[in-house]
A and B are shown apart, each in its own frame.
Chain A
Amino acid sequence: MRKLLILVGVLLAAHVVLLFVHPAGAASPAIDPHAVNVGIVFDVGGRGDKSFNDAAYVGGERAEKELGVHVRFIEPGDGSDREAALRIFAAEGMKLVIGVGFIFTDDLVQLAKEYPNTDFAGVDFSVATDSAGNPIPPPPNLAALKFREEEGSFLVGALAAMVGHSKKVGFVGGMNSPLIQKFQAGYTAGVHYVCPDCQVIAQYAGVTPDAFRNPGKGKELALSQYQDGVNVIFHASGSTGLGVFEAARQTNKLAIGVDADQYSEAPGHVLTSMVKGVDAAVFDAIKRVKDGTFKGGIYSYGLAQNGVRYVYDEHNKALIPDSVQARLQQLRADIIAGKIKVPTTP
């Protein structure tokens, strides 16, 4: 008994001493009321996805460096933490609070109403429609950051058809859902625009979110498509796409990445990537807040805003002939100018 009491005393003393240790460079938990403070909330388990959560992080970091704002990040522990994390930031007096992922939609709408003096933004925010099918605008202090994935997909579709030489091109989707169907629709339209008699083989890994996390299935689908005479496959399937790259490496064929530049996943076999500019959209939203020009509403990022683009750099130049690159630039200009209408459903 006495020994235990002494042990309690010693441990307590050590703990109290350590409480006062203050390493150099330690951040203060209190926020600076004079600065522009921004809070970004990732999805559960989102950090490290090498896709849009990480891209949002990059955008936040860049804003901190270039705009001198203060950015804080939270990665929630479970589903009910999403709202809590947004709320913590709002209650702390952040100027802008960003939720990364369509899953934040309901929570953002609710909080935007409760905190009318705070600005909110939602990446991939899902805009509700009324009974007539018209979009219901979000609250005035909430920006819906949307991307016209179909436009970027159109360009990589045209590229696949021009480089593939086999009249057959492939598409591997993750979960079969309206979002991914947008990729498929743009891609197919791009293929047929440059090669009307080409065939697009489109397959999905499943109907549940797990279809975004199934590399084995991705590889299986890709191998069968390559076997079928396909030379290029575009994947829009999260980490399922890692299997697509593996199949490309194994059969010495080509694949197209998605969301971020995925060249490094299979160097030499990644024709290009259809990059979603989440970092740019996040940076843009922060910049507007700092400049005092932030407004709620639907922001749609397409080719014109560099919200979607395809990768063309020193890594993959060799795979894309100059004539093809020139044709793609022309197509891009046509889409921006409205000369080409890209469909959003297959």
Chain B
Amino acid sequence: MSASAGARRWRAQLEEAVLPAVVALLIAALVGDVLIIVYGQSPGEVYRALLEGTWGNAYGLGQVLYKTTTLTFTGLSVAIGLRAGLFNIGAESQLAAGGFAAGVLGTLLPPGLPALLVLPLFIVAAAIGGGAVGGAAGVLKSKWGAHEVITTIMLNFIVLALLNYLTVAHFKVFDTLHTADVRSGALPRLSALIPPFHGSAANMVLFLALAVVAVAWWYLFRSRAGYELRAVGLQPGAAEYGGVNVPGVWWRAMLISGAVAGIGGLNFVLGYKHYYEDGFSTGAGFLGIAVALVGRNNPVGVVLAALLFGTLSQGGLAVNALVPKQMVDVLQAVVIIAVVTSVPEVRRVLRSARRRGGPEA
């Protein structure tokens, strides 16, 4: 189309997507201001401490990147599910299962193998761990119509309790809650490349995350399977008409969703501590839901949203000495509500409800 049409589309995009998000973030910031003042602190000081503790120094930035990495995996996991019309609440346990599988594999490998050589093995193990949990919910839905929200919530309980038991009863090192160190496959920290990051947990899994984002984008928007998956998510009736095996897409989407969350476990197990620790991922799976919604189920949007929530999470730690942790949790919730209500998809639904019954159909 002509250049002016391109400009129009860009302008519409600005109006539809960018400005509302800016408004949403500003509203969240204002709510934060009021909360901080009511608590008796200065918003300027708190936000300054928050920025200094995150983007203000290399260590803080490294920590943000570490958290962003995990959230990218869980956010992507939820986003892939949502693209297929499925609400995967189970990223929490899928992430843990992936990490556990990798941690156990690490204790079984012979020591001293090159990390790059065994990395594919770890990816497969983590994907199987998370994919088994997600895939189970998918099969329950495809075969028996069990709603995935219910099954993934229940699987969270079951899987987390099971992993806890396995760790404590069979795999843990005495007097700890973690497994033995992996004998091969530990990945270097980011500080090996960029020394100022010293001490921060950011590690090479960050690049794995970006690679997975690229693959996910290609899969969703360029592959035939992605074409069918999105059609199922938007209009299952039309997808069925188009020759798509809808239940088949359901379980495959849940399998992939779980596998992506599972691979996220490598960030802790291979990149940070080099062992699986019970409860290492507490909350990252649930935060992944917010990341997916704020990132509008787009892989690139997910990375940006993960960066936002990673910053808030690390920033919360940095300002914890000034304001209680709950205040940062509230702020995070306000961001989620504000941004989610401002996304065009949601508003389109509202608008079409208002306009229902237009010209005779």
Binding site for B on A (CB under 8 A): 1, 4-5, 7-8, 11-12, 14-15, 18-23, 25-29, 39, 44, 72-81, 83-85, 87-88, 91, 102-103, 105-106, 114, 126, 175, 178-179, 207-210
Contact check, A19 vs B281: say whether CB atoms are below 8 A apart: no
Bitwise, B12-24 to A at CB < 8 A (1) or not (0) is 0011000110110
Q: Are A78 and B45 in contact (CB under 8 A)?
A: no
| Beta-carbon contacts under 8 Å, B165-196 to A | 165, 168-169, 174-177
Q: Are A23 and B201 in contact (CB under 8 A)?
A: no
Of listed B59, B165, B174, B317, residue having the most chain A CB within 10 A: B317
Apart from A21-B42, A25-B40, what 18 extra A-B contacts exist at CB < 8 Å?
Answer: A1-B19, A8-B26, A14-B30, A15-B29, A20-B44, A26-B45, A73-B321, A77-B313, A77-B325, A78-B279, A78-B280, A80-B273, A88-B53, A88-B318, A102-B175, A105-B175, A106-B176, A126-B175
Contact status B277-A79, CB under 8 Å? yes
Say how far A49's CB is from chain B's closest CB, in angstroms. 14
Known interface pairs A44-B279, A83-B201; A74-B317 also in contact (CB < 8 Å): yes
Q: Give the residue name and chain of the A residue nearest to B167 (CB).
A: A208
Q: Kindly state whether residue B34 has any CB partner on chain A within 8 Å.
A: yes
Q: Which residue of A lies closest to B328 (CB)?
A: A77
Q: How many A-B residue pairs have CB under 8 A?
A: 143
Residues in A whose Cβ lies below 8 Å from that of B43: 18-19, 21
Cβ-neighbour of A27 out of B41, B169, B325 (below 8 A)? B41
Instruction: Identify the closest chain B residue to A9 (Cβ).
Output: B26
By a CB distance below 8 angstroms, the chain A residues around B26 are 8, 11-12, 15
A74 to B23, CA, bound (A): 31
B320–A208 CB distance below 8 A? no
The minimal Cβ–Cβ distance linking B311 to chain A, given in whole angstroms, is 13
Within the complex, the shortest CB–CB distance from A133 to chain B, in Å, comes to 12
A11/B15 contact (C-beta < 8 A), A44-B279, A75-B325 known: no
How distant is the Cα of A179 from the Cα of B199 in the complex, in angstroms?
31
Which of B33, B48, B268, B316 is in CB contact (< 8 Å) with A18?
Answer: B33
Q: A114 near B199 (CB under 8 angstroms)?
A: yes
With A8-B22, A80-B280 given, is the CB distance from A209 to B47 under 8 Å? no
Q: Which residue of A lies closest to B25 (CB)?
A: A11
Residues of B within 8 A of A76 (CB): 317
Q: Can you list 25 pairs linking A and B with CB atoms under 8 Å apart?
A: A1-B19, A8-B22, A15-B29, A15-B30, A15-B33, A18-B30, A19-B44, A20-B42, A21-B37, A21-B43, A22-B45, A23-B40, A25-B40, A26-B41, A26-B42, A29-B46, A78-B279, A78-B280, A78-B284, A79-B277, A80-B280, A84-B201, A85-B317, A88-B318, A208-B169
